[in-house]
Structure 1
Amino acid sequence: MKKLILFTLLICISLFAFGQKRVVCCSKPSATRQFAMLAANPNFRMEHKTPLPIHFQSAIGKAITYKTADGKESAAYFLKAKKTTNNYILVIHEWWGLNDFVKRESEKIYNELGNVNIIDVDLYDGKVATTREDAGKFMQAVNENRAKAIINGAIAYTGKNARIATLGWCFGGGWSLQASLLAGKQAAACVMYYGMPEQDVNRLKTLNADVLGNFANKDQWINPKVVAKFDADMKKAGKKVYLHKYDADHGFANPSNPIYDSNATKDAYANTITFLKARLK
């Protein structure tokens, strides 16, 4: 009798474990994970042309380190405001990593906006890619818990009274939205350049910031259908999103990209600056 009870118990445990495995395996991956998984697609990798070299040396930007929520540290690139202010922008890099393009763009925005602090976070923990193969590996290897810890560490670094805007391109475009979600009531604005939107309407309901989205109609991945769904989801969530859609391709705003579109970039940049100025007064 005892053997029968033990056998039955083992079967129940096995069935439960199998059921749990099925739930985990069949659960829908997060928006950021979905985007990272695209790196396994050869067409997606080929869409990202090998970047032209950009060399940038700043006289005001500096490297910093801060504690992260997982008990570790993270390095970042920091542009400190000339006068004390609680306005911050968290900038999140493309799939190439925190390179000179990102630092140069951050300083351009810094000079344009006036008195603002900018932190370029590094979700690759120091790795920078110069080939699409390495970029794909780095993006796929990003651990979501570590990425969130890095972002939460940057939010803590800004201080509890900070008003936080977020901005990112490509891989960083999706994480820009996630960073604004993580910032909670401190979130003041979110700018996404052709990044994967959050697809959970209930999560979008917790968003405290308006969103500006710069998207590309020729993008095969964050395509017009994905953008239209994001627009509808934001409306369902009762949130404001301002969409700008260009007859350009994924990565159009990076001058180191051979498919760079100067006209689309100028318009997207002008809209971005206007949007941020209105929300970081």
Structure 2
Amino acid sequence: MKKFWTLYAAFLSVVSVASAQVGTSPAKLACCSRPATSANATEAFAMLATNEDFSGGHDAPLPYTYEGQGEMIEFKTTDGQTAKAFEIKSNVRSDKYLFVIHEWWGLNDYIKKEAATLANELKGVNVIALDLYDGQVATTAEEAGKLMQAVKTERAQAIIKGALLHAGPNAKVSSIGWCFGGGWSLQTALLAGPKAVGCVMYYGMPEKDVAKLKTLNTDVLAIFASQDKWISPEVAAQFQRDMASAKKKVTIKSYDADHAFANPSNPKYSKEFSAQAHAAALEYLRKNLKLKG
């Protein structure tokens, strides 16, 4: 246990250093350069994959095969490459989009199922589950840790920017993600600029650069767990203060649960709190995407 707290203290130290590394203009951060704070924050979170307590708290997903609506698509990315995603188009023509960002396991069939659930609940919205692992999917915590650590900020940003171009110039984009994807959901909202109309982040690493948060075009629904040792109540409180400093609205929902409580394959899964959080997310998304009913 002592070893865990030593590692955790080191992690917080890295994040604190990251938050101090400010000085690049928002305009420069918006292009393909490496944004100091957001990059270091997400990469510092990825370092947790080496922590046995963190990885040990994520049971491998049970075998599952998704068979339903939607299809894999390929689109160009801003780094001259291509990326893939799982897309479920609205039954009616729509410029409203929800970007779904996976946990540390990758774009597996559980995420496709979640994307389908959201598509059925958010009529008139195109749902795209992004693949920030470029086709790789983990089935063990060890594999997931390696994949999460291997994510390069510039590549992930290029994928998100490519998806924004795929959505089109008139797109209104909301995002949602969990854990690894929770942090990248917020980064998606930042990258989306004026296209951003909503952001839901489940126990993800918040952006700590207030100057960047000032560029947000949307409010944020941030869902946390009070027993989370990594995205802790202290991290949530700091995010709330940073958003206040940026003069941006954030709604904090905290549940008496542990990290990844909304994942049914996690031993700390809470059916009750997961349902409550999902209901809050749906209400928020329907309001921000201006859906009827």
Asked if 1:39 is matched to 2:49, the reply is yes
TM-score by length of 2: 0.85
Percent identity over paired residues:
53
Using the TM superposition, give the Cα deviation of residue 52 of structure 1 relative to its aligned residue in structure 2, in angstroms: 2.5
Counterpart-to-counterpart distance in 2, 1:112 and 1:50 = 27
What does the per-residue CA deviation read over 1:223-272, in whole Å, with 9 as the maximum and x for residues that have no partner?
A: 00000000010011000111110111111111122221000000000000
Asked if 1:91 is matched to 2:100, the reply is yes
User: Is contact 1:53-1:256 (8 Å) kept?
Assistant: no
Residue 158 of structure 1 corresponds to 167
Counterpart-to-counterpart distance in 2, 1:203 and 1:127 = 30
User: Is contact 1:52-1:258 (8 Å) kept?
Assistant: no
Residue 20 of structure 1 corresponds to none
SS at match of 2:98: strand
Runs of 5+ consecutive residues of structure 1 not aligned to the other structure: 1-22
Counterpart-to-counterpart distance in 2, 1:128 and 1:220 = 25
Using the TM superposition, give the Cα deviation of residue 30 of structure 1 relative to its aligned residue in structure 2, in angstroms: 2.2
Greater Rg over alpha carbons, structure: 1
What code does the residue aligned with 2:66 have? Answer: F
User: Is contact 2:58-2:267 (8 Å) kept?
Assistant: no
User: Is contact 2:60-2:139 (8 Å) kept?
Assistant: yes
**Which residue, out of 49, 52, 66, partners 2:59?**
49
Counterpart-to-counterpart distance in 2, 1:52 and 1:217 = 26
Counterpart-to-counterpart distance in 2, 1:209 and 1:30 = 23
Aligned length: 255
Greater mean deviation of Cα atoms: 95-104 or 30-39: 30-39
Greater mean deviation of Cα atoms: 198-207 or 254-263: 254-263
TM-score by length of 1: 0.88
Residue 240 of structure 1 corresponds to 249
What code does the residue aligned with 1:203 have? Answer: K
Residue 202 of structure 2 corresponds to 193
SS at match of 2:286: helix
Residue 179 of structure 1 corresponds to 188
Asked if 1:30 is matched to 2:40, the reply is yes
- RMSD between aligned alpha carbons? 1.2
What code does the residue aligned with 1:231 have? Answer: Q
Counterpart-to-counterpart distance in 2, 1:34 and 1:147 = 15
Using the TM superposition, give the Cα deviation of residue 51 of structure 1 relative to its aligned residue in structure 2, in angstroms: 2.2
Runs of 5+ consecutive residues of structure 2 not aligned to the other structure: 1-20, 22-35
User: Is contact 1:211-1:240 (8 Å) kept?
Assistant: yes
**Which residue, out of 149, 156, 166, partners 2:158?**
149
Counterpart-to-counterpart distance in 2, 1:206 and 1:53 = 41
Task: Within 5 Å, give how 1:1-281 maps onto structure 2.
Answer: 30-58=40-68, 60-281=69-290
